[in-house]
């Protein structure tokens, strides 16, 4: 992957979006069709934690690719 690729920045943006959805507890985010499985498995608070951790992993991974730590 090229270091000037747009994909890592898209991953960072998606991670930030996931973090915001979890932190601000957006109803439309938590009640989306794709979040229903996680809500059934973990409940609302558990789903917020899941999406927060997922967002953190995405942001970290994207930034590590941008900085060249992961190639």
pLDDT means per 10 residues, the chain with 71 residues, are: 78 98 96 94 97 98 92 72
How far apart CA 67 and CA 36 sit, in angstroms, is: 35
Q: How many structural domains does the chain have? A: 1
Is 53 part of a structural domain of the chain?
yes
Q: What pLDDT, on the 0 to 100 scale, is given for residue 3?
A: 53
Q: What pLDDT, on the 0 to 100 scale, is given for residue 4?
A: 65
Is 2 part of a structural domain of the chain?
no
Q: What pLDDT, on the 0 to 100 scale, is given for residue 1?
A: 47
Is 48 part of a structural domain of the chain?
yes
Q: What pLDDT, on the 0 to 100 scale, is given for residue 7?
A: 94
21 and 51 Cβ atoms separated by less than 8 Å: yes
Rg of the chain in Å (alpha carbons): 14
DSSP the chain: --TT-SHHHHHHHHHHHHHHHHHTT-HHHHTSGGGHHHHHHHHHHHHHHHHHHHHHHHHHHHHHHHHTS--
Q: What pLDDT, on the 0 to 100 scale, is given for residue 5?
A: 86
In terms of residue numbers, what domain contains 13?
A: 7-67
Is 17 part of a structural domain of the chain?
yes
């Amino acid at each position: 992957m090229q270091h000037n690729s747009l994909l890592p920045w898209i991953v960072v943006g998606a991670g930030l979006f996931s973090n915001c959805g979890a932190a601000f507890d957006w109803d439309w985010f938590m009640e989306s069709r794709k979040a229903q499985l996680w809500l059934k498995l973990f409940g609302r608070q558990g789903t917020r934690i899941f999406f927060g951790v997922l967002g953190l992993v995405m942001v970290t991974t994207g930034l590590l690719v941008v900085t060249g730590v992961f190639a």
